[in-house]
Chain A
Amino acid sequence: MRQLLIDNITSSTSLSDYKSHGGYAALEKALKMKPEEIVAEVQKSGLRGRGGAGFPTGMKWSFIAKPEGVPRHLVCNADESEPGTFKDRYLMQHKPHILIEGMIISSFALGANLSYIYIRGEMMVQFHILQKAIDDAYAAGLLGKNILNSGFDLDLHVHCGGGAYICGEETALIESLEGKRGNPRIKPPFPAIAGVWGRPTVVNNVETIAAVVPIINMTGDEYAKIGVGKSTGTKLISASGHINKPGVYEIELGVPVEEFIYSEQYCGGIKGGRKLKAVVAGGSSVPVLPTELILKTAKGEPRLMTYESLGDGGFATGTMLGSGGFIVMDETTSIVKNLFNFSRFYHHESCGQCSPCREGTGWMEKILRKILDGRGTIADIDLLWDIQSKIEGKTICPLGEAAAWPVAAAIRHFRPEFEEYVRNPQNIKDVKHYYRLNNLVEV
């Protein structure tokens, strides 16, 4: 099992350590290439955006506008906030220089001379680690003027956010970087045409940019040989929940889901020997799947950790690889309570710009609260279904979908559990803490 991102240094923020393990060799190689050759290598690699959307990175790069005399920018999206996802924080903490090296190579390929890493404000430890690594890179001539005598200039800065999940959306992130509230912009124009300060901008996730380093080192063709089909390369998976060995795992895309959950190499099985109930495979926004569907595809084949296999059959029987935020729930988990938790999150994090999202997320949270309270009706379950369908696809940014999909999937796959809350509220346990957390009056 190859590891390309967290391979040879388990934890080192030092430039000398990174260099002694082959660090910055890809940069030396890249600076001898033409920018378009680097873009071609990334296209050949089949690398897809690792932040969640899975859009081909090389194609995204090829869209950037190149008007004469207009500066271009690369912005790294390090605003990792999707519940269940913590891989970027891990990578930046343990191997900051791979991100910096990836930023320099990618900036060179895109013709950007001023680039930013927009990191989540809460991650101050990683912010300062990155700042120190950037300072060291400047001192070593890896940033600044005439990098390694190549004639290429790059200023790279780390910028901290202020706490807002919505800023992980690329246009909201751009607004935030401009010093405004993180309200997403209507597209088009896409950032590649008019991004930060109206200039052509590419926004890529931390893991995506880090992956450019091994792609240049090993060539795009070799990188594309790893994985299955259009799911090429390796992927960092953040595993959490009721498993014996939570943590960040770098897998070659294509590992069977069952192996990932139960093998000692990865999650080590379910905690306490309990049964698996459900998995959210790619961060809180992707559809939850019950055991039988997460382990097997609609065709009855073993489901693999790939973009295609996890999505097999559409949302009726599939889900998404997303950001790789793999949340495992055992048989004791209440899907309704878990959904309430997620719905509260999306309500809290909606920027409020679009009515369907602003009103719909709060409405769904209220109905779920009512159901948990034992005051729900069957009509409430139908209403939840109706509301989520009226949010999806009707908002400026994908937060609407992110809020709707978990609701749709939970009802689709676990409707009897919702009905149990409605029909036999006396069976409901542990409701009181919801009142306490939400300052409600108990009835």
Chain B
Amino acid sequence: MATKQIKFSDDAYELVQRIIKRYPEGKQKSAILPVLHIAQAEFDGWLSAPVMDYVASILSIQPIEVYEVASFYSMFNLKPVGKCLIEVCRTGPCWLMGAEDVVKYIEKKLNIKEGETSKDGMFTLKTVECLAACGSAPMMQVGETYHENLTLEKVDSILQDYKSKGELVTHWDKKHIKK
């Protein structure tokens, strides 16, 4: 099987170059977090070692500098995930307002446990810490979208909606990469 070429699309590459220019000359390493978000959006929703090496080459830094950053921040996936990463907030007010029931329901619905991916590769379920939507708890994030004031019926409809679209959903939505 041919190895998939690791290269940003023209639009993504141009965006990355624009972002690098936001920092002083010689401080291009500062762009690492936004560039990793874009990389995750471009390369199947996760960061493989070759993808991180590619990011390092673009930023003219050592690969280890990318690995240590990517492994520190919770938004970067270092192993493959489903097309839709469901992140249910489990902290504080979301816990008070029933986040555990939401997690339990999704686990049952998708026949997976927290941290796992559904057999069809569509959904990965993850619990996350406070997402600053406490007034509309319980909530979950899929891609850049916050789904708030969740009920089990609402969860059903949201999952169905993503499933019917069948597209890769990432935090940095591809619509923001296109010119």
Instruction: Name A residues whose Cβ lies closer than 8 Å to a Cβ of B.
Output: 71, 80-86, 88-89, 114, 120-125, 128, 155, 157, 159-165, 176-182, 197, 238-242, 246-248, 284, 325, 327, 329, 333, 338, 341-342, 345, 348-349, 351, 433, 436-437, 439
Out of B73, B91, B127, name the residue touching A162 (CB < 8 Å).
Answer: B73
Provided the pairs A125-B145, A162-B76 are in contact, do residues A348 and B135 lie with their beta carbons within 8 angstroms?
no
| 5 interchain residue pairs of minimum CB distance | A162-B73, A83-B92, A179-B29, A163-B75, A124-B144
Q: Can you report 29 A-B residue pairs in the complex whose CB atoms are below 8 A from each other? A: A83-B129, A85-B132, A121-B33, A121-B37, A123-B132, A124-B172, A155-B22, A159-B30, A161-B73, A162-B36, A162-B73, A163-B73, A164-B72, A179-B30, A179-B31, A179-B61, A238-B135, A240-B92, A240-B96, A240-B135, A242-B96, A246-B134, A327-B93, A327-B96, A345-B91, A345-B92, A345-B130, A433-B104, A439-B114
Chain B residues with Cβ under 8 A from A88's Cβ?
132
Which B residue sits closest to A352, measured CB to CB? B72
Chain A residues with Cβ under 8 A from B22's Cβ?
155, 157, 159
Q: In the complex, what distance in Å separates the CA atom of A346 from the CA atom of B31?
A: 27
Which A residue sits closest to B134, measured CB to CB? A240
Chain B residues with Cβ under 8 A from A114's Cβ?
24
Instruction: Name B residues whose Cβ lies closer than 8 Å to a Cβ of A.
Output: 22, 24, 27, 29-34, 36-37, 59, 61, 65, 68-69, 72-76, 90-93, 95-97, 100, 103-104, 107, 113-115, 127-137, 141, 143-146, 171-173, 176
Once the chains bind, are B91 and A241 in contact (CB under 8 Å)?
A: no
- New A-B pairs, 16, CB < 8 Å, besides A121-B73, A179-B69: A121-B33, A122-B75, A128-B144, A160-B34, A163-B74, A179-B30, A179-B33, A179-B65, A181-B68, A238-B135, A240-B135, A284-B130, A325-B134, A327-B92, A345-B130, A436-B107
Which A residue sits closest to B173, measured CB to CB? A124
Which DSSP category, helix, strand, loop or mixed, fits chain A's interface? mixed
Chain B residues with Cβ under 8 A from A246's Cβ?
93, 134-137
Chain A residues with Cβ under 8 A from B115's Cβ?
439
Chain B residues with Cβ under 8 A from A345's Cβ?
91-92, 129-130
Chain B residues with Cβ under 8 A from A164's Cβ?
72-74
Once the chains bind, are B27 and A125 in contact (CB under 8 Å)?
A: no
Once the chains bind, are A181 and B129 in contact (CB under 8 Å)?
A: no
Once the chains bind, are A86 and B95 in contact (CB under 8 Å)?
A: no
Q: In the complex, what distance in Å separates the CA atom of A88 from the CA atom of B131?
A: 12
Chain A residues with Cβ under 8 A from B30's Cβ?
159, 177-179
Q: In the complex, what distance in Å separates the CA atom of A329 from the CA atom of B130?
A: 17
Q: In the complex, what distance in Å separates the CA atom of A81 from the CA atom of B128?
A: 12
Once the chains bind, are B144 and A329 in contact (CB under 8 Å)?
A: no
Q: In the complex, what distance in Å separates the CA atom of A437 from the CA atom of B99?
A: 11
Chain B residues with Cβ under 8 A from A71's Cβ?
24
